[in-house]
Amino acid sequence: MKKLGFVGLGIMGKPMARNLVKAGYDVTVFDVRPEPVAELVAAGAKAESSARNVAACSEVVITMLPNSPHVKEAILGTGGVIEGVRPGAIVVDMSSIAPAASQEISARLAQKGIPMLDAPVSGGEPKAVDGTLAIMVGGPEDVFNQVKGILAVMGASVTHVGAIGSGNVTKLANQMIVALNIAAVSEALVLATRAGVSPEKVFDAIKGGLAGSTVMNAKVPMILAGNFKPGFRIELHIKDLMNAMDTAHELNVPVPLSGQVLEMMQALKADGKAPLDHSALVQFYERMAKVEVRR
């Protein structure tokens, strides 16, 4: 399958689509904003005026959008993928949305005989740029096998985890762990700073031990530099945690720690910090302790 469609060229979608173009695929793109479309066309992609038109000329249609309502509109709405998708095509939604929404969209597409995968990603903008995302995929395994090579262009890890919706359940688990990890790192480094111990030296001392993690290695340097340019925005992490809370409540699963971190992020949003990187969670603690964690 060489003819790909890509709908959604945001902070993640744009570099992902660019990597598919670089890999030699025939990529047709659409976004509601003209600027990223122009960038992709300059890189070798083609452009269409709607998701429907993208689907009409594609063997695999990929969507990468902010949340469940956007994906529903792009796939099922007027001018959406479902109106143009051809028999034999595959739809792959790589957005991070509610698992129930993935199942609903898949059921609608199935009425037209179109299979769908939910394939959310982890790694943020840097890994989207260099094509090393972790991709977790739900849906029929035979369909997954048909597009695994395409997904491997965008990710270093591509894992089939189960039926449709399983990809987004896995992503919610990922986002809960990342959020709690950032919160724990923030708590610890604010404590160290308040105690007069260099947070940079604390990081150097513990990053190779049991407390070390990919999250710590990625986010602590940003915190120490006071660099909160978004790789993954607080407002998007709020969205993911809200989806996690809704899913947990539907399943009668207690998630008290995730709920606490969600409220911390909501407080930062109320303070105008929603566009910042989620590492800015440290600012919640800094404000209360009246210290800054910096080099």
Q: pLDDT tens digit string along 155-181?
A: 999 999 999 999 999 999 999 999 999
12 contacts 121 by C-beta, under 8 angstroms: yes
Same domain, 184 and 254: yes
Strand 60-63 and strand 46-47: the pairing is unpaired
The verdict on residue 124 lying in a domain is: yes
In sequence order, which ranges of 228-281 are alpha helices (DSSP H)?
234-250, 256-270
Residues 85 and 184 in one domain: no
CATH code: domain of residue 58: 3.40.50.720
Please report whether residue 150 resides in a domain: yes
Q: For residues 157 and 28, give the distance between their C-alpha atoms in angstroms, rounded to a whole number.
A: 25
Residue ranges making up the domain that contains 15: 3-164
Q: Which helix (H) or strand (E) holds 108?
A: helix 99-110
Token pair 């989806």: residue? 243
> What six digits make up the tokens of 57?
């000329």
- Alpha-carbon distance 123 to 226, whole Å? 20
Please check whether residues 98 and 209 belong to one and the same domain: no
Which residues on neighbouring strands pair with residue 26, listed in sequence order? 3
Answer yes or no: do 101 and 213 share one domain.
Answer: no
d(CA 283, CA 190): 9
Question: How far does the chain reach from its first CA to its final CA, in angstroms?
Answer: 50
Q: Within 10 A of 95 (CB to CB), how many other CB atoms are there? A: 27
| 153 and 240 housed in the same domain | no
Number of structural domains, the chain? 2
CATH code of the domain covering residue 227 = 1.10.1040.10
pLDDT at 231: 83
Residue 295 placed within a domain: no
**Would you place residue 1 in the very low, low, confident or very high pLDDT band (cuts 50, 70, 90)?**
low
Is 180 found in the same domain as 126?
Answer: no
* 196 and 259 share one domain: yes
Residues 277 and 198 in one domain: yes
Q: What is the mean pLDDT of the chain?
A: 97
The DSSP 8-state label assigned to residue 66 in this structure reads: S
Instruction: Tell me which residue of 101, 92, 52 sits closest to 74, measured CA to CA.
Output: 52
- Per cent of the chain over pLDDT 70 is 100
Positions annotated as catalytic residues are 171
User: Are 197 and 150 in a shared domain?
Assistant: no
294 lies in some domain = no
pLDDT at 120: 98
Where on the phi/psi map is residue 66: left (φ > 0), alpha (ψ -120 to 50), or beta?
A: alpha
Tell whether 9 and 136 lie within a shared domain: yes
Do 34 and 113 share a domain, yes or no? yes
Over range 69-76, report the average pLDDT. Answer: 98
Does 129 score more than 80 pLDDT? yes
Point out the domain boundary residue: 164, 191, 211: 164
**Statement to judge: residues 19 and 154 lie in one domain:** yes
Radius of gyration (C-alpha) of the chain in whole angstroms: 20
Q: Is 135 helix (H, G, I), strand (E, B) or coil?
A: strand
**Three-class DSSP category at 111:** coil
Give the pLDDT band of residue 114 (cuts 50, 70, 90).
very high
Whether the CB-CB separation of 46 and 28 falls below 8 Å is answered with yes
Residue 76 lies inside a defined structural domain of this protein: yes
Domain assignment of residue 20, yes or no: yes
Region 62-79 average pLDDT: 97
CA distance 268 to 283: 8
Last residue of a domain, one of 135, 164, 193: 164
* Among 164, 199, 230, residue at a domain's last position: 164
pLDDT surpasses 70 at 123: yes
Mean pLDDT of 39-46: 98
pTM: 0.92
Q: Is residue 173 part of a domain?
A: yes
Which of 162, 161, 116 lies closest to 134 in space, CA to CA? 161
Question: How many CA atoms are closer than 13 Å to the CA of 22, on its beta-carbon side?
Answer: 11
pLDDT band at residue 280 under the 50/70/90 scheme: very high
